[in-house]
Amino acid sequence: MTEMLDTTTIEEIRAIIDKGLGTTQSRELIAASEVADLLLDLRLLLATSDAELEAAPTN
């Protein structure tokens, strides 16, 4: 079964990535905690989408 993310979730993920890249682009070093925060934000969005897909009726 192929699962697809909705357009809103994809746009939210892109916005988080763009914001993260924008704030770190000019720096040579990035704290591990900043990277972890970014990855956790993305994981939360994806986990929420998975939960919504599982709760949706299959008909």
Its pTM stands at 0.63
Q: Domain range for residue 46?
A: 30-54
In a domain, 49, yes or no: yes
Q: What amino acid is encoded at 55 in this protein?
A: A
In a domain, 41, yes or no: yes
pLDDT reported for residue 3:
61
In a domain, 12, yes or no: no
Domain total of the chain: 1
Q: Any alpha helices (H) in 1-59, and if so which ranges?
A: 7-24, 32-55
In a domain, 14, yes or no: no
In a domain, 10, yes or no: no
pLDDT reported for residue 1:
38
